[in-house]
Amino acid sequence: MNPACLIVVDVQNDFCEGGALAVPRGDEVVPLVNRLAARFDNVVLTQDWHPRAHASFASSHPGKRPFETIELAYGTQVLWPDHCVQGTSGAAFHPDLDATRAQLVIRKGYHRDIDSYSGFLEADRKTATGLAGYLGERKLKKLYVCGLATDFCVAWTALDGARAGFEVWVIEDASRAIDLEGSLARAWSELSAAGVKRTALTSL
Ligand code: VGL
Ligand code: ZN
Q: Which residues does ligand 1 sit against, CB inside 6 Å?
A: 10, 15, 48, 80, 117, 148-149, 152-153
Nearest ligand for residue 155 CA? 1
Active-site position among 5, 10, 27, 48: 10
Ligand 1 geometric centre to CA of 78 (Å): 10
Closest CA to 23 of 115, 122, 94: 94
108-146 burial code (b ≥16 CB/10 A, e <16):
bbbbeebbbbbbbbbbeeeeebebbebbeeeebebbbbb
Active-site position among 48, 146, 153, 160: 153
Ligand 1 geometric centre to CA of 61 (Å): 18
| pLDDT of 2 over the 90 cut | no
| pLDDT of 126 over the 70 cut | yes
CA distance linking residue 53 with residue 183, whole number of Å: 25
pLDDT in tens, 27-72: 999 999 999 999 999 999 999 999 999 999 999 999 999 999 999 9
Whether 126 is catalytic is no
Question: What mean pLDDT value characterizes the chain?
Answer: 97
pLDDT in tens, 129-180: 999 999 999 999 999 999 999 999 999 999 999 999 999 999 999 999 999 9
Whether 153 is catalytic is yes
Domains of the chain as residue ranges with CATH: 2-52+82-203 (3.40.50.850)
Partners of 44 in beta bridges: 7, 104
pLDDT in tens, 71-105: 999 999 999 999 999 999 999 999 999 999 999 99
pLDDT at 194: 98
Which amino acid belongs to residue 170?
Answer: V
Q: Which of 78, 117, 150 to mutate to test the pocket of ligand 1 (most atoms within 8 A of CB)?
A: 117
Ligand 2 geometric centre to CA of 203 (Å): 30
Neighbours of 164 (CB within 10 A): 16
pLDDT at 3: 87
